[in-house]
Chains A and B, each alone.
Chain A
Amino acid sequence: MNFSLTKEQEMVRKLMKEFSENEVKPIAAEVDETERFPRETVEKMARYDIMGIPFPKQYGGAGGDNLSYAIAVEELSKVCGTTGVILSAHTSLGAHPIYQYGTEEQKMKYLVPLAKGEKLGAFGLTEPNAGTDSSAQQTVAVLDGDNYILNGSKVFITNGGEADIYIIFAMTDKSKGNKGISAFIVEKEFKGFSIGKKEDKMGIRGSSTTELIFENCIVPKENLLGQVGKGFGIAMQTLDGGRIGIAAQALGIAEGALDECAKYMKERKQFGKPLAAFQGLQWMVAEMATKVEAAKLLVYSAADKKDKKLPFSAEAAMAKLFAAEAAMEVTTKAVQIFGGYGYTRDYPVERMMRDAKITEIYEGTSQVQKMVIAAKVLK
């Protein structure tokens, strides 16, 4: 068992730390306050090959590993949860399914620009009546000559409207239930595809979360991803990997809040001494730090298993469950330690607390993670 990062991973961490501090942190509060998608950050990430870390060079990627990718999401999320999820949804949900299931032609056409960061990716599974019960898809795809015709809508789509390429799930045969779902690669410009309502969210407010609408949307037959009827499996396996990204985001948010607390506790004085000198608060940060460390080991271990091509589904679910709950607990305690100041927008911890909550909900709620874990234990 080896708990050390490789030299490459250490250097990726150093790069991402500097990048996040210099390029992301200065605009994090403004991006949150004004609900502005930080397009300029996406362009900068593309310049430094951050948008395609785990994909091979032949497909435009950086030729790196999943642990380095998780570290990138973690470092971004330490200072800005919004930027963390933009990268996570793009890499794990938008680009990865094409890498895993796409034909060579699909990879050259879609994965290359995604991995280079010239195009942004997104993933559309959730519908108004198909959330946790994602098999209850109502979007339909009907084969008509050389095209599939898609009708229906998706909700809560991360990077919605901002992304150029969407992985969309639809029923090709309603009579077959789960086995009637297929996956498609849909370009933003395809006729009949439009962006609906943009959500006004509690946290990750710079991230664009929208509805997607398909009205007789024409998708060329060659844009079917994987085989007909295999879409549900593609969705579930994509989400297994995506959970590592979201777990890394939650971990980063928790670490960011802990860092802010450590700094504040040494500066802020009450009763003539710094907060850091009060044992009650020391015990709080000790618990927070322990949760963060445990979350980190779970996240890195899940990413490492994926890199080693070992089964990682339950481990990714555990990492996301634990890291998300740690993020919520740590950020809530951080606001408590900051007191009245923590409740204001003058300090970043209230933003971190709002950003943390979504990690317990999206890409499978904490309850869904428990279903996945229990299924593994009780199989």
Chain B
Amino acid sequence: MKIIVCIKQVPDTNEVKLDPKTGTLIRDGVPSIINHDDMNALEEALKLKDRYEDVEITVLTMGPPQADVALREALAMGADRAILVSDRAVAGSDTWATSNTLTAAIKKIGSYDMIFCGRQAIDGDTAQVGPQIAEKLDLPQVTYVQKMEVKGDTVTVQRALEDGYEIIDVKMPCVLTAIKELNSPRYASVSGIFDAYREKNVEVWSAKDIEVDLAIIGLNGSPTNVRRTFTPDPKGKGTMIPGCDKGTVCELFNILKEKHII
């Protein structure tokens, strides 16, 4: 079974602070981590590898050269192959352009039975990239996976809902997105860490390598534009009109009228 796990390197939000003036994240000096839900996706793939023979796990990410360390960590946990799509042409991508890039990379990888993503990244919270990849590859998808089992070419999945779950059988190849209830990710092992740097390799692919149309990636290929981020001003203190008689109601009525609310 060939599994591709898509991961994202994100700033550790436990350590991150907001710039009060611009409303943007202060990323300087903030440690980077593998996005939490992506770790759950990777762990589930590793569990399949522990259980079945012939499971090959490829971790894939799009990011700056520094994302190498996230892929090395995934290798240290037990992934077999790591690919970093890194190119100035992909900078500034929104979810649409990101999924275009990842889809092109997955096509170049070629064969796969399962594509596993985290539900969403803690820095953007969109939950769009996984489903978009499924659509673009024309694959069945199940999101919010909280439990799963593989039998033959079918995955039986518990998909979390707000007030329960549904059980879905999905044929491979398919796209799944993991939530934290799925498992507890393992640590990297010490020997895995040394192997990840000495024995294993992170392949770096450019936009040209994945043969993607430059018009649909990066900032120019992104339909979403972030014009400004801001923290909404706190609401002012309310006015209390005490009482429960007719006069109090009239007073309220008059204030609302004055403000043209009614």
The residue from B73, B76, B187, B194 contacting A63, defined by CB atoms under 8 A apart: B194
**Is residue A376 within 8 Å, beta carbon to beta carbon, of the partner chain?**
no
CA distance A96 to B193 in the complex (A): 21
- Among B73, B191, B198, the most chain A Cβ lie within 10 Å of the Cβ of B191
Interchain CB contact under 8 A, A57 and B191: yes
Contacts of A50 in B (CB 8 A): 190
**Is residue B192 within 8 Å, beta carbon to beta carbon, of the partner chain?**
yes
- Which of chain B's residues 227-262 have a Cβ closer than 8 Å to chain A? none
Contact with B along A41-65 (1 / 0, CB 8 A): 0000001111001000100011110
**Is residue B210 within 8 Å, beta carbon to beta carbon, of the partner chain?**
no
Least distance between B17 CB and chain A CB atoms (Å): 15
Nearest to B31 among chain A residues (CB) is A14
Least distance between A33 CB and chain B CB atoms (Å): 27
- Which of chain B's residues 187-216 have a Cβ closer than 8 Å to chain A? 187-198
Interchain CB contact under 8 A, A12 and B191: no
Interchain CB contact under 8 A, A15 and B187: yes
- Which of chain B's residues 132-181 have a Cβ closer than 8 Å to chain A? none
**Is residue B72 within 8 Å, beta carbon to beta carbon, of the partner chain?**
yes
CA distance A17 to B131 in the complex (A): 35
CA distance A17 to B72 in the complex (A): 17
**Is residue A7 within 8 Å, beta carbon to beta carbon, of the partner chain?**
yes
Contacts of B195 in A (CB 8 A): 63
Contacts of A48 in B (CB 8 A): 187-190
Contacts of B76 in A (CB 8 A): 11
Interchain CB contact under 8 A, A64 and B194: yes
CA distance A322 to B194 in the complex (A): 30
**Is residue A215 within 8 Å, beta carbon to beta carbon, of the partner chain?**
no
Interchain CB contact under 8 A, A7 and B69: yes
Interchain CB contact under 8 A, B194 and A62: yes
CA distance A15 to B73 in the complex (A): 10
Contacts of B188 in A (CB 8 A): 11, 15, 48
CA distance A280 to B76 in the complex (A): 46
CA distance A6 to B69 in the complex (A): 12
Contacts of B69 in A (CB 8 A): 7, 11
Contact with B along A341-359 (1 / 0, CB 8 A): 0000000000000000000
The residue from B189, B190, B198 contacting A68, defined by CB atoms under 8 A apart: B190
Contacts of A18 in B (CB 8 A): 187
Q: A-B pairs with CB below 8 Å: how many? A: 53
Interchain CB contact under 8 A, B193 and A12: yes
CA distance A288 to B197 in the complex (A): 35
Chain A interface residues (CB < 8 Å from chain B): 6-8, 11-12, 14-15, 18-19, 47-50, 53, 57, 61-64, 68, 72
Least distance between A307 CB and chain B CB atoms (Å): 13
The residue from A11, A57, A68, A72 contacting B72, defined by CB atoms under 8 A apart: A11
Knowing that A11-B73, A11-B188, A18-B187 touch, tell me 10 more A-B residue pairs with CB under 8 angstroms.
A11-B193, A15-B188, A47-B189, A48-B190, A62-B189, A62-B191, A62-B193, A62-B194, A64-B193, A64-B194
Contacts of B193 in A (CB 8 A): 8, 11-12, 15, 62, 64
CA distance A52 to B160 in the complex (A): 41
Interchain CB contact under 8 A, A49 and B189: yes
- Among B76, B190, B194, the most chain A Cβ lie within 10 Å of the Cβ of B190
CA distance A85 to B73 in the complex (A): 27
CA distance A53 to B189 in the complex (A): 10
The residue from B190, B196, B197 contacting A49, defined by CB atoms under 8 A apart: B190
- Among A47, A63, A64, the most chain B Cβ lie within 10 Å of the Cβ of A63
CA distance A49 to B192 in the complex (A): 9
CA distance A50 to B192 in the complex (A): 11
Nearest to B193 among chain A residues (CB) is A11
CA distance A166 to B195 in the complex (A): 31
CA distance A12 to B189 in the complex (A): 9
CA distance A18 to B12 in the complex (A): 13
Contacts of B73 in A (CB 8 A): 11, 14
17 contacts between A and B (CB under 8 A): A7-B197, A8-B194, A8-B197, A11-B73, A11-B76, A15-B187, A15-B190, A15-B193, A49-B189, A49-B192, A57-B191, A61-B191, A62-B189, A63-B191, A63-B198, A64-B191, A64-B194
Ranked nearest first, the 6 interchain pairs of A and B with the lowest CB-CB distance are A62-B191, A62-B190, A49-B190, A49-B191, A49-B189, A48-B189
